[in-house]
Amino acid sequence: MGPKKKDIWHSITQILSAKLPKSEFDMWFCRASLKDLTEEKAVISVSNKFVANWLHERYLTHLEDSFHRVVDWRPEIHFAYPASDRSSKKEVKKPAGADPLGHKHNVNPSMTFANYLRAESNSFALSSAMGLAQELSESYNPLYIYSDLSLGKTHLLHAIGNHVMETHPHRRVLYVPSNRFIGDFSLSGTQNRILALLENYTTLDILLFDDIQELEGKRYTQKKLLFIFNKLHQMKSHMVITGTKLPKDLREINPELKSRIGAGVMAEITRPEQDTKIRLIRESMAQDGISIADDVVFYLASSHLEFKGLIHNITRLKALASMNNGPISISIAKTLIEDSPPLRPSLEHIKMTTSAYFGISASDLVSSRKNRAFSYPRHVAMYLARKYTTLSYKEIGHSLGHKDHSTVLYGIRRIERSRDRDRKVLSDLKQIENIMNYKSGHKTK
């Protein structure tokens, strides 16, 4: 007889608690349990839909890795929670699913038009995305959405995919982030594998391509994307592409590819104004019947400049309110969001402070030089960026010289290990944090 579900879940939570800060682990996993487990599927029971969506979006990889370590297989992760109007369970499935044709679409079901934060700053991008999804008109082909990091581009890609798959279930849809596209072709190996990949991409009805700026300087991968783009264009298939700048400003990108991207609709998302964020917070809370005081609204609106961090904090407060069934006071809000203060340093501020502290140039910090005089400060910057911002590993790597996800993860883990046994590393971290916090207007406790 194999181990019981309770014992398996205990082992998994032990792994998770060692990886995550105690407050974070207690917040999201203290009431979770393993409801069902087979080699194909693991169902984790949680208290409500907010917790389900949060675990599904932020901790899926951690859970998959933990299951693999404990039971030696990787089941598909589902989250179950009590429905509000009946005793049955609803399930939130893992993002990468299959459509009726058996085609992997990689679309995240939790990112829809219904839960997209609407504002003047994103109104044209949103209306263009909805127009494409609803009409599948050539007028929106291609659609290029651009903005700074963490302002909602990726959410719109997934929202388009979800709407099309719901209204046209037999359409072939694929969401692909640029790093996966690069990996597909750089790791393809044989000519047969390349041909199979190209066939898969060129038979799509809609390609949702995220972060094209990651292809800068990668000529081979650009050629493959241009080939796919031309084939899809000939078939009148749709392409939606995101980036951080206008096509003409993309560096080291094939001119023909830039011309193709710029030939369609271009929609910019700008940073939201303070009054916009306040309105969005109130609307988001009201949709779920959560009462929130004015001082909490103002505090929350100041907690982040970009949408991703704001959504992070809104979700945490919603989860807390739904679990405690009580009003959210300003003291509760501050306690919950204390690791993300209103004036927390930006990634650019972290880079500037770190390079100045170690006496190296900003260009050396983001270079590929492997000498410890440069790699150690770079790893410190990666660690601090992960600690103080809501940016993903990919976003951090992009800002630190186009490093990939695994390079950033390696750097962060090196600092985490060294911090606990090397006083010099701990001292460096504390001094840089004190400098950043002093300049930002608050001091480290």
Work out the percent of the chain whose per-residue pLDDT is above 70: 86
CATH C-level class of 120-268: alpha beta
**Which pLDDT score is estimated for 267?**
93
Residues for the chain: how many in total? Answer: 445
**Which pLDDT score is estimated for 266?**
93
**Which pLDDT score is estimated for 239?**
94
**Which pLDDT score is estimated for 226?**
93
Statement: residue 341 has pLDDT above 60: no
CATH 1.10.1750.10 domain range(s) in the chain: 347-440
Say if CB 204 and CB 388 are below 8 A apart. Answer: no
The CATH label, of 1.10.1750.10, 3.60.21.70, 3.40.190.10, 3.30.420.10, for the domain at 347-440 is 1.10.1750.10
Whole-angstrom Cα distance, residue 316 to residue 26? Answer: 13
Q: Which residue has the tokens 């090196």?
A: 414
Choose among 128, 129, 37: nearest CA to 75: 37
Return the higher-pLDDT residue of 338 and 6: 6
> What is the separation, in whole angstroms, between the first and last Cα of the chain?
51
Confidence class for position 324, pLDDT limits 50, 70, 90:
low
Confidence class for position 415, pLDDT limits 50, 70, 90:
very high
pLDDT tens-digit readout, 147-202: 877 778 989 999 999 999 988 888 999 999 888 888 778 755 667 778 888 888 99
Q: What is the mean pLDDT of residues 241-265?
A: 90
**Which pLDDT score is estimated for 240?**
96
CATH C-level class of 274-336: mainly alpha
Confidence class for position 272, pLDDT limits 50, 70, 90:
confident
Choose among 180, 201, 12, 182: nearest CA to 96: 180
CATH 3.30.300.180 domain range(s) in the chain: 5-93
Confidence class for position 344, pLDDT limits 50, 70, 90:
low
What is 5-93's CATH superfamily?
A: DnaA, N-terminal domain (3.30.300.180)
pLDDT tens-digit readout, 382-412: 999 988 877 888 889 888 988 888 899 999 9
Q: How many CA atoms lie within 13 A of 81 on its CB side?
A: 20
Residue 238: phi and psi, rounded to 5, are: -100, 145
Strands 76-82 and 89-93: antiparallel
Buried b (16+ CB within 10 A) or exposed e, 61-74: eebbebbeebbeee
Angle separating helix axes 178-186 and 191-202, nearest 10 degrees: 150
My answer on whether omega of the bond before 142 falls inside 30° of 0, hence cis, is: yes
CATH 1.10.8 domain range(s) in the chain: 274-336
Statement: residue 307 has pLDDT above 80: no
**Which pLDDT score is estimated for 222?**
92
**Which residues have C-beta within 8 Å of that of residue 54, sequence separation ≥ 6?**
28, 315, 316, 319
**Which residues have C-beta within 8 Å of that of residue 382, sequence separation ≥ 6?**
396, 397, 400, 408, 411, 412, 415
Statement: residue 278 has pLDDT above 90: no
Mean pLDDT of the chain: 81
CATH 3.40.50.300 domain range(s) in the chain: 120-268
Statement: residue 4 has pLDDT above 90: no
pLDDT tens-digit readout, 348-364: 778 878 887 888 887 88
